[in-house]
Structure 1
Amino acid sequence: MNTLPIILGMLAAFAPLSIDMYLPALPAMAAALGTDTASAQVTVAAYFLGMAGGQIIYGPVMDRYGRKPPLYFGVGLFVLASLACAAADSLGHMVWLRVLQALGGCAGMVVSRAVVRDVAHLRDPVRLMGRLMLVMGAAPMLAPFLGGLIADVAGWRAIFLFLAAFGALALALVAFVLPETLPPERRRRIPFTAVLADYGRLLTDSRLLRPALTSGFASGAMFAYIAGSPSVFIEVHHIPTSQFGLWFGLNAGGLILMSQLTGKLAERFTRERLMSCVVAFLLADGVVLFVASWLGAPFLVIIGCIFVFLACMGLVLPLATVLAMQHFASVAGTASAVLGTLQFGIGATSGAILGVWSNGTGMPMASMILLSFACSALVWFRR
C-alpha cells in the first residue's frame, strides 16, 4: 500500500498538469492557432468545465462497477485527447479537445477521493490525503518549469505529447499496481432513478454540502489566481516571463508544506476546529490582498498574500474532503463526484467571471479571491 499515495497523486495531478504546464506557452499556442492570448485563455475555462461535468458521470459508475474499470476508460480518453490537442489547428478545435481531455482526466480525481474513503478503516484518511496532496502539489510547482522547458526545446505541441505519455504511465500503474478497493459485494447495482435519488439526498445533506461548498468557494479563489496570475505577474508587476514559473512554483511549495502538517494539526485541534481557524484566516488574508492591490503595493506584498492563502489551501482541501465524505462509505464514488463537481464548477465560474472582468490591473483577481473567501466563510460559519 506504500505506492497508493503516489498512484492516487498521479491520477489527481491530471488537472494541475493539464492546466499549469501550458500556461508559459499560452502566447505561442495562441499565435499558432491564429488568436490572441486573452482569447486562448478560454481553453483553461474549457478544462474546468469538463472537469466539473465529467465527475457527475463517473461517481455512480464507480460505485456500480468498481474503481478500476471506469479509470481505464477515463485515463484512456485523456491520453487520446492529449494527442489530439497536440495536433489541433484552430482555437475552436482546441476548446472542444480540452473539454474531452478534462472529461477523461477527471476520472482520476473522483477515484482518488473515493479510494481514500474506501481504505479509511486501514489508514488515517487525513494523513493519506495529506500525502496525496504532496504528490499532487508537486504538479503545479514543477509544471510551469517543465512546460516552459518543453516548449523552448520542442514547441508548445510537445507539452500535450508529454501529457499523453504521463497518462499512459498512469494507465499502466492502474492496470498492474493499483488495487481494487471496492469489492463486488459492496458495489451498488441500482437503477438510474436511484442514482438521481442519491444525488438529491447528497445535495441536501449538510454533512457533505457544508465542507464541499466551503472548499468549493475556496477553490474559486485558487482558480482565480491560476487564471489571473499570468496577467497580474507579467503585465501589472512586470515580472519577466522566464521568472513566472519560479514564483508560481514557490507558491505551490507553500501548499505542499502545509498539506503535510494537516494530519498532526487535525489530531491536536480536531478537524472541525482546524477548518474554522483556516477559513477565518483565509478571509483575513483575502482582505489584506484586496487592500494591498487597491493601494498598488509592491509585488513582494502581493506574492506574500498569495503564498499564505495557497499554504492554507493545503489544509482546506484534505480536511474538506475527509469531512465531506466520512459519512458516505456506501456511495463514496457519488459523494466524491458531488464534491469535485462543486469545486470545479465554482472554479470554472470564478475563472469565467475573471476573464470578463479583467481590466489590466490586479484588482479583478484580488476582488474574486476576496469574494470567494467571503462566500466560503459564510457557508462554513452558518449553522
Structure 2
Amino acid sequence: MTTSAVLSDSAHVEADAPARRDRLRLILVLGALVALGPLTIDMYLPAFPAITADLLTSSAMVQLTLTGTLIGLGVGQLIIGPLSDALGRRVPLIAGTIVHIAASLLCIIAPNIAVLGALRTLQGFGAAATMVVALAIVRDLFTGTAAATVLSRLMLVMGAAPIFAPALGSAVLVAGSWRWVFAALAVLGFLLLILAIVALKETLPPERRRPARLVPVLQTYKILLRDKQFLVLAFVAAAGMSALFSYIAGASFVLQEGYGLSEQQFALVFAVGAVSLIGASQINVPLLGRFAPRQIVLAGLAGASLSGAVMLTLAVTQTGGLLGFIVPLLFVLAAVGFVLPNAPALALSRHGEAAGTAAALLGAAQFGLGALVAPVVGVLGNDARAMAITMTSGSVLALIALSAVMARSRV
C-alpha cells in the first residue's frame, strides 16, 4: 500500500469508528459469534476417550477429527473471506452458520470415525465464517493500536468459550453420550444465527466492495503473498495459535490418561489455562499505551520460548509431576495471550482495502498450521514431552523470524 492510501484508509476508519457504548455492544456480539469456533473445537475434548472406545478406533484417529476441524476452519476462511469482501459481511456469516448447524446435526448420527472426521471438517468450514467476518469487521472500523485494543477485548469475550467449553462438554457427558455434545453445538449454532440476524449490522457498504470474480481474488492473494512483512506477521500469529492447538490436541490425553485426572478435573485445569491466556490479553490493553504492538509480540514470543524450554526440561526429566507440567504451561499460554491480539492487528493494518481477504489468509495460516501441528502431539506419544516440544518449537521459530524482520525494517 502507498502512504497516501494508508492515510486515506485510516482516516476513513477513524471517521466510522463506533462510539464507546456501540463499541462495547459490537465486541459482545462479535465475541459471541467468534466463540462458535472455540466451542466447536473444545467442547468435545473430554469425550476423546469415549469416542475412541465407542467407535473402536485409536486416540491418534480421534485427534485427526480435530485436525479435520482445523482444516475446515482454514480452508473455509480462504473462501469466505473474499466472499465477504464482495457480498458484504452479513450474508457469508449467516450462510456459514447454517452450514455449521447442519454439520453438527449430522455428527450426532456419525457411524464411524471416518464419517465423523469428514463432518467435523464441514463443521469447521461453517464456523470459519464467524471468525473471518469478525476480523474483517474489526478492520472495517478500526486500525493500528485501536484494532489491537478491540481484539484484546474481543479475546476476553471469546475467551470464555475455551473456559466453559470442556466444562459444558463434561456436563453433557454426565447426562448422555458424546453424541449429545454435537446436539448442544447445533443448538448453540442456532442461537448465534439468530443473534447475527438481529444484532449485527452491515459494515461494508456497496461502494467499498470488491469483485467476486476469481481473477481479482487471486490477484489480491498474490499481493498479500508478496508482502514479506505481512507473511512474517501471519506466521507469527499462526505460531502462537499452533502452540495453543498443541495444547488443545494433547491436553485431554496428557491430563486424563497421563496424570489420571477425571473429566471434571480436566475441565477445571483447562479453564485455568484459558484464564491465563485471557488475563494476559487484557493486560495487553494498558501495555499498548506504553509499548508498540510489535514490541509486545517480540516479548511474548521470547517469554513463550523460555517457558516452553522449562516445560520441556521438566517433562524430559520427569520432575515436578503434574505441578511441574502445569506451572510452565500457564506461562506459555500467558505469553501466547500477548501475541494473539497484536500480531493479527499488525498484519491487518497493512491491507485495509481487502480486509476480508487479508483476514482469510491470516486465519488460514493460523488454522492450517494448527491442523499440521495437532496430530504431531499424538505421533510423538501424547505425553507431556510431546506437548512441550510442539508448543515450544513454533514459538522459537516465530521469534527468530520476527527478530530477523525487525532487524531489517520497522514492522
Q: How far off is 1:30 after superposition?
A: 2.8
Name the residue aligned to 1:25. 47
What CA distance in whole angstroms lies between the structure 2 residues aligned with 1:188 and 1:341?
Answer: 20
Runs of 4+ with >3 A deviation: none
1:120 maps to 2:146 = no
Query: Structure 2 counterpart of 1:242, which letter?
Result: Q
Structure-2 residue corresponding to 1:357: 380
1:27–1:36: 8 Å Cα contact kept in structure 2?
no
1:320 paired to 2:343: yes
The one-letter code sitting in structure 2 at the alignment partner of 1:205 is: D
2:202 corresponds to? 180
Instruction: Note closer, same or farther for the CA distance 1:248–1:122 as it changes in structure 2 (3 Å cut).
Output: closer
How many Å separate the matches in 2 of 1:333 and 1:204?
A: 17
TM-score of the superposed pair, with normalisation by structure 2: 0.89
Equivalent in the alignment of 1:237: 259
Deviation at 1:240, TM superposition (A): 3.2
Are residues 1:300 and 2:323 paired?
yes
Matched with 1:202 is 224
Q: Which amino acid aligns with 1:96?
A: A
Following TM superposition, by how much is the alpha carbon of 1:230 offset from its aligned partner in structure 2, in angstroms? Answer: 1.7
Q: Does 1:340 align with 2:363?
A: yes
Residues 141-180 of structure 1 mapped to structure 2, 5 A cutoff: 141-180=163-202
CA contact (8 A) 1:224 1:369 kept: yes
* In structure 2, C-alpha distance between the alignment counterparts of 1:372 and 1:123, rounded to whole Å: 25
* Structure 2: distance between partners of 1:382 and 1:353: 27
Of the structure 1 ranges 26-35 and 293-302, higher mean CA displacement relative to structure 2 is found in 26-35
Aligned length: 382
Amino acid in structure 2 at the alignment position of 1:348: A
User: For the residues of structure 2 that align with 1:3 and 1:88, how far apart are their CA atoms?
Assistant: 38
Is the 2:144–2:349 Cα contact (8 Å) retained in structure 1?
Answer: no
Distance, in Å, in 2 between the alignment partners of 1:34 and 1:272 is: 47
Aligned residues: CA RMSD? 1.6
Q: Which residues in structure 2 correspond to 1:1-383 (within 5 Å)?
A: 1=22, 2-120=24-142, 124-189=146-211, 191-298=213-320, 299-358=322-381, 361-383=383-405
> 210-219 vs 70-79, which deviates more?
210-219
Q: CA contact under 8 A between 2:300 and 2:339: conserved in structure 1? A: yes
| Counterpart residue type for residue 13 of structure 1 | A
Q: Deviations over 1:54-82 (max 9, x none)?
A: 11101111000100011111000001101
In terms of mean alpha carbon deviation, does 324-333 or 347-356 score higher?
A: 347-356
Q: Unpaired runs of 5+ in structure 1?
A: none
TM-superposed deviation, 1:190: 5.3
For 1:89 and 1:119, the matched residues in 2 are separated by: 45
CA distance in 2, matches of 1:131, 1:361: 33
**Same amino acid, percent of matched pairs:** 37
- What is the identity, as a one-letter code, of the residue corresponding to 1:151? L
Compute the displacement of 1:222 (Å): 1.3
Stretch moving more, 185-194 or 338-347: 185-194
TM-score after normalising by structure 1: 0.96
Structure 2 counterpart of 1:125, one-letter code: A
Q: Distance in 2 between matches of 1:204 and 1:261?
A: 33
Q: 1:121 to 1:40 in 2, by over 3 A?
A: closer
Which amino acid in structure 2 is aligned with residue 261 of structure 1?
I
Instruction: Kindly provide the amino acid, as one letter, of the partner of residue 302 in structure 2.
Output: A
1:25 match: secondary structure = helix
| Aligned-pair CA distance for 1:7 | 1.8
CA–CA distance in structure 2, aligned partners of residues 43 and 28 of structure 1:
14
Give the CA deviation at 1:234: 2.2
Residues 355, 121 of structure 1: alpha-carbon distance in 2 compared, 3 angstrom cutoff: closer
Cα gap change, 1:319/1:180 in structure 2, threshold over 3 Å: closer, same or farther? same
Per the TM alignment, residue 362 of structure 1 is displaced from its structure 2 partner at its CA by 2.1
**Amino acid paired to 1:40:** V
Contact 1:9/1:133, CA 8 A, preserved across alignment = yes
Q: In 1, distance between residues paired with 2:390 and 2:325?
A: 15
Do 2:250 and 2:383's aligned partners in 1 also have CA atoms closer than 8 Å? Answer: no
- Structure 1 pair 231/29, CA: closer, same or farther in 2 (3 Å)? closer
With over 3 angstroms needed to count, the CA separation of the structure-2 counterparts of 1:87 and 1:221, relative to structure 1, is same
Displacement after TM superposition at 1:3 (Å): 2.1
CA, structure 1 residues 208+122, in 2 after alignment: closer, same or farther (shift >3 Å)? closer
| Shift in Å, 1:123 | 9.4
